[in-house]
Amino acid sequence: MTPLPSRLTWKSALPGHVNVEVWSVVKVTIDRPGCISCENCWTLCPDIFEQNPDDGLSEVAEQYRVDGNPAEGEVPEDFADCTVEAADSCPVTVIFVEE
């Protein structure tokens, strides 16, 4: 089961104001054509990365994709460390993380 992502909550002390929640995320991009299917990313961070069954290349897990794009995702802050570790371990440096 995937843990809930980190979030920051601001509560207004003023009557009638709405509480605001902001979810902290990191952005991840994979240059999929450059992927060599080494398995590092989906082994180190299986909640975020997976192997595409059709082409064998790495992709962002469906629940974290941006607009359904397997090469782009928004990852909950709770998974930031393993996402960065996966990017750092990529031998062809095709995974990019923006915090």
User: pLDDT tens, 30-88?
Assistant: 999 999 999 999 999 999 999 999 999 999 999 999 999 999 999 999 999 999 999 99
Closest listed residue to residue 61, CA positions, set 78, 77, 41? 41
Structural contact between residues 54 and 73, judged by C-beta atoms closer than 8 angstroms: no
Q: In the chain, what are the domain boundaries?
A: 21-98
Quick one: pLDDT at residue 19? 62
Q: Is the dihedral of CA 42, 48, 54, 55 positive or negative?
A: negative
The CATH number of the domain covering residues in 21-98: 3.30.70.20
